[in-house]
């Protein structure tokens, strides 16, 4: 089958080129801004482009599970790289705002407090930090089942990211609404099958509901997650 051949080919692709390619766009955008290729407001354009790149990578990371579940295409081994690149873009987006845009230290805190879209964006960034820090094999082993619980914060991060984009847009624009719609759709696809599985995984025996999960199954499942992820 085509899907089997595709999965076989993807297993032969190393992960490191994803990091290399993912590291390039911020540098390219910075060069474009310095040479006037980003228009009359290069700093604002740079902020926007980096933020949108981060949102696109976040959507890509959220799509990995539904794509495997519904299409059979397995991209799980690239999920950690996608997540860390997403954080890298968010960090670059934040640094452009701090260093090139605001610049005044006192104004930074005032903007975070007074401007709701900045408050929301900063909240998303703060939530991403522990996910990025724990996206490694050691953290998966060390945290055990807690690691999976921690990384479920990506659902809230995705919603906050979409809301951040939606709030900073002036007037009615389709693009931020489309991003939010895709975020909500991907979250629904990730959560809904899990709920159905949880429902069908319980059996009625002698008038009592019995969970069909075998002892130790959750521990084995955690062990299979040693690849780690941010999204």
Q: What is the pLDDT of residues 130-155, one digit of tens each?
A: 999 999 999 999 999 999 999 999 99
% helix / strand / coil in the chain, to the nearest 5?
A: 75, 5, 20
Give the pLDDT band of residue 217 (cuts 50, 70, 90).
very low
pLDDT digits (tens, 9 = 90+) for 4-49: 888 888 889 899 999 999 999 999 999 999 999 999 999 999 999 9
Q: Inform me whether the pLDDT recorded for 208 exceeds 70.
A: no
* 144-162 exposure pattern, b = at least 16 Cβ within 10 A, e = fewer: eeebeeebeebbebbbbbb
Taking the C-alpha atoms of residue 61 and residue 81, their distance in angstroms, rounded to an integer, is: 9
As a whole number, mean pLDDT of residues 93-99 equals 94
**In 3D, which of 30, 21, 31 has the Cα closest to residue 85?**
21
**Percent of the chain whose pLDDT exceeds 90:** 65
CA dihedral sign of residues 184, 167, 157, 30: positive
pLDDT at residue 225 in the model: 47
Lowest mean pLDDT among 86-90, 137-141, 220-224: 220-224
How many CA atoms lie less than 13 Å away from 9 in the CB half-sphere?
Answer: 7
pLDDT at residue 49 in the model: 96
Residue with more model confidence, 202 or 114: 114
**In 3D, which of 180, 168, 189 has the Cα closest to residue 44?**
168
pLDDT at residue 199 in the model: 55
- Strands (E) in 32-144, as ranges, are none
How many CB atoms are closer than 10 A to CB 172?
A: 7
Tokens of 139: 């953290």
What CA–CA distances, in Å, run from 161 to 43, 142, 155?
20, 29, 10
């Amino acid at each position: 089958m085509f899907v089997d051949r595709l999965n076989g080919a993807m297993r032969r692709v190393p992960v490191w080129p994803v990091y290399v390619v993912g590291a390039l766009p911020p540098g390219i955008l910075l060069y474009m801004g310095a040479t006037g290729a980003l228009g009359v407001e290069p700093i604002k354009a740079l902020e926007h482009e980096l933020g949108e790149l981060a949102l696109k990578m976040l959507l890509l990371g959220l799509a990995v599970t539904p794509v495997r579940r519904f299409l059979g295409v397995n991209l799980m081994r690239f999920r950690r790289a996608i997540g860390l690149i997403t954080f890298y873009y968010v960090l670059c987006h934040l640094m452009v705002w701090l260093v090139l845009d605001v610049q005044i230290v006192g104004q930074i805190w005032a903007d975070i407090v007074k401007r709701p879209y900045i408050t929301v964006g900063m909240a998303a960034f703060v939530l991403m930090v522990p996910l990025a820090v724990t996206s490694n094999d050691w953290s998966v082993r060390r945290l055990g089942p807690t690691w999976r619980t921690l990384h479920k914060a990506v659902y809230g991060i995705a919603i906050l990211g979409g809301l951040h984009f939606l709030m900073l847009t002036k007037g009615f624009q389709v693009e931020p609404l489309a991003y939010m719609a895709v975020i909500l759709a991907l979250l629904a696809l990730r959560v809904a099958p899990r709920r159905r599985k949880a429902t069908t995984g319980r059996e009625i025996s002698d008038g009592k509901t019995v969970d069909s999960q075998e002892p130790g199954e959750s521990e084995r499942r955690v062990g299979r997650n040693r690849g780690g992820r941010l999204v």
